[in-house]
């Protein structure tokens, strides 16, 4: 909102690109921003290009209150927008074209035509043009990419991301910090998904009723998104199921899927660009062949681990039985989720107040450290172990001692080193210098 308001108050022509995965809240954000401003909101659909242009013309004519404008036979979007910009004069108007990638799909020259409209007319007005899209690959490549006709025209861009963890509780008041962390493990920070969980129901009831039950919004959402975004979804499904099942190395994924190495490499690159999969290397490495793959998106990670492999049972209405059988594995799954959550900068900073330039995991041969934060300017390092279980003080001290041993293997000679631990609950936490548990995961 701050970014959009600043651009609006610039008083000059603006050409903004707003994008992000589906259900992340882009449209809601833009409509909220524009509600008290002169604006036109147009949603592109899968109808033919000319029909979309006619619909946009109708909305622009209604905005201008000009019946004649609505009757002009415009051949293309450039003529339409240049004429609209001319009629608008010096008025500050926000024009939002949502799901812009659909127009590119139907008529690729729309990119060149929009470039022409911007260069010849719109850039000289006070129009605020916003292109919005859910196809991340299309927005990054076709709209903002170096080879795009629109390259260099935009005045700003923003990729909408998940909401920060500490705001999830606003969707589910009354949920304990543990339930909120578990909810994050199932839904991530996607507002549309969080709205599916009912605050008056328990975490387990919500998972069974709103994710694992046939017919619920979240039951087939991952499948729908994959089919909309990707060609050959079956191959992507195989890769994601392998990664969700714990195959994190490239060779393991190739063996599990039976796909050719070059195909797996190509598909993993696409999934990384979409923000569904991430590749991690040890935090101290600049480049490494030892990269490990994991599913970055919590909802996809949960869906490919618990929904897809159990489809036959879930289709038969056995959601409660599937969830009961999955409890132990879910606890294991949450170990990885909790680690990732603590590594998120906004969470890590709130817990530790440690200033860092790099943060991540570290591993070498059989040794691993869950979290290493490096302050390269001051040569300080904070090593942290993360446990999704309750710990007694004695066990916590034992873990910290072993952490000191492992930290020596990282190197960093001459650095100032600190050691911490994060767990579900730590008995005698006050006796330890750097220890945090779920009580510290409250928003305020």
Could you confirm whether domain 345-441 is CATH 2.40.160? no
pLDDT score at 231:
77
Q: Which CATH superfamily is domain 2-159 in?
A: P-loop containing nucleotide triphosphate hydrolases (3.40.50.300)
Buried b (16+ CB within 10 A) or exposed e, 149-188: bbeebbeebbebebbebbebbebbeebebbbbbbbbbbbb
Which residue ranges does the chain devote to CATH 3.40.1350? Answer: 345-441
Task: Locate 141 and state its tokens.
Answer: 């490549």
- Report the SS3 class of residue 425: strand
Residue 315 parent element (H or E): helix 311-315
pLDDT in tens, 36-95: 999 999 999 999 999 999 999 999 999 999 999 999 999 899 999 999 999 998 999 999
Helix (H, G, I), strand (E, B) or coil at 239: helix
Counting residues of the chain whose pLDDT is more than 70, the rounded percentage is: 99
Q: What is the pLDDT of residue 391?
A: 96
Tell me the percentage of the chain whose pLDDT exceeds 90. Answer: 86
In this prediction, residue 192 carries a pLDDT of 94
Domain limits, CATH 3.40.50.300, in the chain: 2-159
Bridge partner list, 236: none
Q: Is the pLDDT of residue 443 over 70?
A: no
In CATH, 166-337 is 1.10.645.10:
no
Residue spans in the chain of domains classed CATH 1.10.10.10 = 166-337
pLDDT in tens, 97-120: 999 999 999 999 999 999 999 999
Tokens representing residue 426 in the block: 């730590």
Q: What are phi and psi of 354, to 5 degrees?
A: -90, 125
Which pLDDT does position 24 carry in this prediction? 92
**298, 181 contact by CB (below 8 A):** no
Mean of all residue pLDDT scores within the chain = 94
Using left for φ > 0, alpha for ψ between -120 and 50, and beta otherwise, residue 154 falls in beta
* Residue 238 pLDDT exceeds 70: yes
CB 263 within 8 A of CB 235: yes
């Amino acid at each position: 909102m701050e970014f959009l308001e600043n651009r609006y108050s610039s008083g000059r022509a603006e050409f903004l690109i707003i994008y992000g995965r589906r259900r992340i809240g882009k449209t809601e954000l833009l409509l909220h921003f524009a509600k008290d401003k002169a604006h036109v909101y147009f949603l592109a659909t899968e109808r033919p290009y000319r029909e979309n242009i006619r619909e946009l013309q109708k909305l622009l004519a209604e905005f201008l209150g000009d019946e004649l404008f609505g009757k002009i036979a415009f051949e293309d979007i450039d003529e339409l927008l240049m004429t609209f910009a001319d009629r608008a004069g010096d008025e500050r108007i926000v024009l939002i074209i949502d799901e812009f990638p659909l127009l590119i799909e139907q008529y690729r020259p729309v990119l060149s035509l929009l470039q022409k409209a911007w260069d010849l007319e719109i850039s000289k007005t006070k129009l605020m043009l916003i292109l919005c899209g859910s196809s991340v690959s299309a927005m990054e490549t076709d709209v903002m990419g170096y080879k795009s006709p629109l390259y260099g025209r935009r005045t700003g861009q923003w990729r909408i991301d998940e909401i920060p963890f500490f705001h999830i509780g606003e969707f589910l008041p009354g949920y304990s910090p543990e339930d909120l962390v578990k909810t994050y493990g199932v839904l991530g920070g996607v507002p549309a998904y969080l709205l599916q969980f009912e605050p008056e129901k328990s975490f387990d009831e919500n998972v069974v009723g709103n994710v694992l039950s046939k017919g619920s919004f979240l039951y087939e959402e991952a499948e729908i998104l994959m089919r909309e975004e990707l060609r050959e979804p079956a191959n992507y499904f195989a890769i994601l199921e392998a990664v969700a099942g714990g195959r994190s190395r490239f060779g393991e994924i190739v063996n599990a899927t039976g796909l050719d190495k070059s195909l797996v490499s190509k598909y993993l690159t696409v999934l990384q660009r979409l923000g569904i999969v991430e590749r991690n290397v040890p935090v101290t490495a600049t480049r490494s062949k030892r990269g490990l793959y994991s599913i970055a998106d919590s909802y996809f990670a949960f869906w490919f681990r618990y929904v897809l492999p159990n489809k036959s049972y879930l289709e038969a209405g056995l959601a409660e039985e599937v969830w009961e059988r999955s409890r132990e594995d879910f606890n294991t799954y949450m170990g990885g989720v909790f680690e990732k959550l603590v590594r998120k900068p906004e969470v890590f900073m709130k817990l530790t107040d440690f200033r860092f330039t790099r943060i991540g995991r570290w591993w070498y041969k059989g040794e691993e450290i869950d979290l290493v934060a490096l302050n390269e300017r001051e040569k300080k390092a904070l090593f942290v172990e993360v446990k999704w279980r309750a710990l007694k003080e004695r066990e916590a001290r034992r873990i910290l001692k072993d952490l000191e041993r492992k930290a020596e293997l990282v190197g960093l000679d001459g650095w100032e080193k600190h050691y911490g631990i994060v767990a579900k609950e730590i008995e005698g936490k006050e006796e330890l210098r750097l220890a945090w548990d779920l009580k510290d995961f409250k928003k305020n």
